[in-house]
Structures are given as C-alpha cells and as structure tokens.
Amino acid sequence: MNTTTHQQITTSSRLRSIISGSAGNLVEWYDWYAYSAFSIYFAPVFFPKSDSTAQLLNTAGIFAVGFLMRPIGGWLFGSLADRVGRKFSMTLSVLLMSFGSLLIALTPSYATIGVLAPILLLLARLLQGLSVGGEYGISATYLSEMATAKNRGFYSSFQYVTLIGGQLIALGIQLALQKLFLTEAQLGEWGWRIPFAIGAVLSLIALYLRSHMEETPEFEKTEHDTSSAVKKKSGSLRELFRHPKALITVVGLTMGGTLAFYTYSTYMQKFLVNTVQLTKGESTLITFLSLLLFAGIQPLFGALSDKIGRKPLLVGFGILGTLATYPLLSGISMATGKWEAFGLIMIALIIVSGYTSINAVVKAELFPTEIRALGVGFPYSVSVAIFGGTAEYVALSFKESGHESYFYWYVTGCIFLSLLVYITMKDTAKSGTFNKK
C-alpha cells in the first residue's frame, strides 16, 4: 500500500497525477462522444429497418444507457472509490471503457451474424455508460483531493476541459475522415470502426498512466484510520443519505447547469441546422470553434474561484442565465449568418462557465472523504439523466408541437431554480469539508 502523505507529495508528483487523471477523463469522454458522432454511419450496419427486433433493441439500448447505466455507474464506481481507492476505481473505469470501444470496433455487421450484432453493440454501450457514469464522480474527487487548497478550483476545472476535449477530438477525427481520408461510402462500410479502434488504444494508454498515479492523501488518511466506524461508513449509501442537505444541493446546483451545458453543446449542433437553417458543415464548424474556446476559458474561471470563492461564480451564472437564456436562444434562432450565431453562442457559453468550471469542486467540497466520490457521482448522474440527458428530447418535442420557444423558458426556469440553491448555500471554498480537519 502506498503510504504517501500530504507533505511527501512533491509538486511534480502532484502535477503528474493530475495530468494522468485528466488524460483518462479525456479518453473516457472521447469514447463516449465517438458513439454519437459516428452513429449515423454504423446505425444501418447494426439496425436494418427491415428487422423490427433490431429496431426495438436499438430503442431499448438508448434508453438503458442514457437513463439507467450512468446513475448505476455513479453508484458503483463511487462506492469502489470510497472503499478501495480513487486510483483503483479510476483504473477500472477506463479499462471498462476500453473494452466497450474495442467491442464496437470488432463487432460484425447484422448481415454477418444477425441479431447478435445489435445485442453486442448494446452490451458495449451499456459498458460505456457504466464507465462514464462513474468517471465524473471519481475524477472530480481525485482532482480536488490532489490539488492544494489555494488552487483547488483551478485544477478541478480541468475536468470540464477534458470533458469538452473528448467531444472535440471525436468531432476532429470525424472531420478528418470525412474531408481528408475516406469517402462517404468507405465511412459507411468500414471507416466508422476507426474511431473506436483509436479509442481502445487511447484507453490502454490512459490505463497505463492511471496505474502509475499516486493515491490521494485524503483517501490514504481514511484508509489508515483505525476507527472501524469510519471504514464501515466508506462508500455506503446509508451513510450518503445521512447528508440530505448536501444531496439536495448537488441535485439543485446541477439541474440548471447541466441543462444549459447540454443545450449549448450537444443540442446546439442540431439546433443550428433545424432552426437556424445553417448547413451541416457550418454547424459543425461553429460547434467545434465554440467548444474549443469554451474549453480554454474553464481554467480562468476556476482560478478566479480560488481568489473570490465559488459562490459568486455560481450566482453570476444563475442570474445571467435566468435573464439571458430566452434572449440568447431567440437571437440564435433568428441569426442571419453563422458568425452572428457563433457570437451569441459564445456569450452563452461564457455565462455557463460560471457553473461548468467549478461545479465538480463544489460538489467534492460538500462531502466528507469517506463518501466523497459516491456523494459527487451518484446524485450528479441522476440529475444529468433527468435534465441533461433529456434536453434534446424536450427541445425537439416542443419544436415538433410548434412551440419551440417553450424550451427556452424551460431552460430559464431550471436555471432559476438552481439560482435559488446558489443563493442559499454557503461558499464551499470557505466552509467545505476540506476545511474541516
């Protein structure tokens, strides 16, 4: 057992561990987004329209992964991280993601093995959903515990840098294959397998990096605690539910932030095509550039939170999000060109950065060490499944009914409810569990 203490961890060792943890997070989210980016090419390979069973499996798979596996992953990996260790749980998570990507890359088509093909794809996606569901909580916990007190917000902000980076890499590989290397026919026949093979290889690299990380001093202190009561509480749902205020706070502060994030990132690409009437190429370009800049500003907001506290950034997001969401989405919908739309999206993403840059560290600061990973990961995964994961469905449902603007008010309302949480909660930079030693 590694018995490294706070004092023994050097700056270089701390940075190396943070980089290794962030690299794994980047790879996990790349693998997750690659499925969405390339599904248009491999869907006909696994789900032929003529087979109703395969179609039902497709529908069931989307439901199970989006709304079931992520909360289960948040619970499973969070419990493991609190009981066995952050390093062990993070290593297992990326290994599971690697296996899921490799399975997608190697699964034969429906024409070759029949209904077994969509079953294997469903299994792979379930594994990926389980993995990414656990990744948020354990990586948020690891980054916050490895950082020093004075720069905890700065280093924790890299979780969203890598989360967005994974989406950018998936999008970049798609653009490269489309424009430089393969024809549409080749992408549909076999080229779609390339990004999943890349993901499997990258996951193995991340696995190697994570296997050489330091365990966090916070966990090691709990691990060496001779109190059987502390060990018994570690990673326990029963113990987690003894912190109802922190649980409700996680759900409340996540609600508006995750909905806004999914609206301006994942859904925006479709919104620009279906509502703004831009071409797919223009929409892809705007999405790529806006997310690239969005990733770049996360550390700036994280560092600012180390100076002025977490609460001012959250309240700023809540107020500006409540006041500006409807005007911004309305303005984007009526944009006369791609650069006008890009400018409005960037204003929205700057506002959202008040949440995305620090939400992970705020959640970590709400819970004690013995249930921190579970406390961050489980309620967050449930909140994302309810609000973030359904954002696109709700938006498209309102659009289909002829009342697209109702979605703008829906996002506004959720941000306002989160604002009430931000206003009433304490600033975790000052009152969080890291300060109660």
The burial class, CB within 10 Å (0-12 / 13-18 / 19+), for 364 is: buried
pTM of the complete model: 0.83
What stretches of 270-374 adopt beta strand conformation (E)?
A: none
**Candidate from 113-117, 297-301, 389-393, 411-415 with smallest mean pLDDT:** 389-393
d(CA 281, CA 279): 5
Residue 118, amino acid: P
- Residue 186 predicted with pLDDT over 80: yes
pLDDT for res 416: 96
Nearest to 310 by CA among 431, 133, 140, 172: 431
Dmax of the chain from CA atoms?
A: 66
> 1: pLDDT confidence band, cut at 50, 70 and 90?
very low
| Distance between start and end Cα atoms, the chain | 23
Please tell me whether residue 365 adopts helix, strand or coil conformation.
Answer: coil
For 218-235, write each residue's pLDDT tens digit: 777 776 655 545 555 566
Residue 150, amino acid: K
Nearest to 95 by CA among 146, 162, 31, 8: 31
For 376-407, write each residue's pLDDT tens digit: 888 888 888 888 877 877 888 888 788 888 99
Cα-trace Rg, the chain: 21
Q: Answer whether 370's CB lies under 8 Å from 237's CB.
A: no
Place of tokens 């859904």: 267
Nearest to 146 by CA among 72, 90, 96, 70: 90
d(CA 197, CA 364): 34
Please tell me whether residue 134 adopts helix, strand or coil conformation.
Answer: helix
Q: What is the DSSP string of 157-225?
A: THHHHHHHHHHHHHHHHHHHIIIII--HHHIIIIITHHHHHHHHHHHHHHHHHHHTPPPPHHHHHHHT-
The burial class, CB within 10 Å (0-12 / 13-18 / 19+), for 170 is: buried
The length of the chain is: 437
Six-digit token string for 14: 């701390």
Between helix 338-356 and helix 244-264 the angle, nearest 10°, is: 170
Cα 430 to Cα 48, 140, 219, 311, 359: the distances in Å are: 56, 18, 21, 10, 15
Six-digit token string for 68: 């079931």
Tell which wins on pLDDT, 7 or 27. 27
Six-digit token string for 9: 């961890």
CB atoms within 10 A of CB 61: 21
For 248-270, write each residue's pLDDT tens digit: 999 999 999 999 998 998 788 77
What does the pLDDT average to over 323-352?
93
d(CA 341, CA 358): 26
Residue 299, amino acid: P
The burial class, CB within 10 Å (0-12 / 13-18 / 19+), for 251 is: middle
- Residue 54 predicted with pLDDT over 70: no
> 346: pLDDT confidence band, cut at 50, 70 and 90?
very high
Cα dihedral sign for 92, 96, 97, 101?
positive
pLDDT for res 62: 60
> 196: pLDDT confidence band, cut at 50, 70 and 90?
very high
d(CA 315, CA 111): 54
Cα 288 to Cα 140, 257, 285, 342: the distances in Å are: 25, 20, 5, 10
pLDDT for res 234: 66
For 293-309, write each residue's pLDDT tens digit: 999 999 999 999 999 99
Domains along the chain? 8-216 (1.20.1250.20), 237-429 (1.20.1250.20)
For 124-159, write each residue's pLDDT tens digit: 888 888 888 888 888 888 888 888 878 888 888 888
Cα 314 to Cα 263, 264, 279, 317, 428: the distances in Å are: 18, 18, 35, 5, 11
Cα 310 to Cα 154, 183, 306, 348: the distances in Å are: 11, 48, 7, 19
